Every structure is written in C-alpha cells, then in structure tokens.
Amino acid sequence: ISAETPVSRRYQIYALGSLAEAYRKSGNLEEAEICYHCILTHSKSRALIAWESHALLGLAMINFMRMNNEESVKLANEALSQYEKIKHAWGIMNAKTILLLNTSMTHADIAAEADLCRAEAIAFAYQYNADKFEELKDKGTIDYFQLFFLSF
C-alpha cells in the first residue's frame, strides 16, 4: 500500500496509517504527511471521525517535529475536540500529550498539568502515556512519542 493506493476499505486506511507512522518514525516526514493527508481525505468522506482525528494527531506530530508548534497545536486541538465529541479516551489522552509537549517548548512550567494528565492516564490504564507525562515533567521533552494506533 502507498499514499497513491485507492482506498476502498477501512482496513486500507489502517494499513496506510501504519505506513505513515513508520515513515514518521524513520524521519521521512514528507511521505508520512502524504499518507496522513490521504487518511484524512478518505476518513472524512466516510465519516470515520476517529480515523480523521488519528490523522490529525499524526499531522500534529509531524508539525511538532518540524518545530511548527502553532500548526501542531491547532491540529492537536482539532483532534481533541473531535475525540471529546465521541468520548474516545485514547485519543483524548494522546491529543493532551501532544498539546503538553508543545507547551513545554515555550519553557512554561508544565509540572502541575503533567501530573494531572499522568493521573488521568493511569486511571485509564494508559501506562505508556503516564510514563511520557512523567518524562515530559522531568526532562521538559519526550525522546519519541509513538502513536500506537498506527503501529505494527
């Protein structure tokens, strides 16, 4: 599958998401961005709100990696709003992670917010996110943030 592959089934969106995340993890942000935009287009046309939001999160992370924090925050907030509408706990937690990661770049004191988010992550049994909030609080950054809905 590639970004040029016609997407006719939900599974293909998932596969394209896995490809996008692999590209992002390897640093090939251009290819990852193409894939995420493809996911966004196909999920919007099928009213797949969760997948639309997942694509927005991927694009938010790409913009963060490019140090385009304003766009990253905009995309993460858009995803958060959609996740909240459908009560998608995993998405809410990950959007908050990306937003706090962006806030940390302004050198703002994020300790209290990181603690609140960590407690919420623990309540949902999202240990990976809880660990990332702790890392963010301790180091002021996260070495790498994996979007697990799109991993192999």
- pLDDT at res. 152: 40
Q: Please tell me the distance from the alpha carbon of residue 50 to that of residue 25, in angstroms, as a whole number.
A: 21
Average pLDDT, the chain: 89
Q: Residue 97's closest CA among 64, 123, 71?
A: 64
- pLDDT at res. 2: 56
Tell me: the pLDDT tens digits for 21-72?
999 999 999 999 999 999 998 888 888 899 999 999 999 999 999 999 999 9
38 compared with 3, residue with greater pLDDT = 38
Residue 11 pLDDT > 90? no
- pLDDT at res. 76: 98
Q: What angle do CA 86, 88, 92 make, to 5 degrees?
A: 115
- pLDDT at res. 1: 57
- pLDDT at res. 149: 64
Tell me: the pLDDT tens digits for 129-152?
999 999 999 998 888 888 876 544
Alpha helices in the chain (DSSP H): 10-25, 29-45, 49-65, 69-85, 89-104, 111-123, 127-139
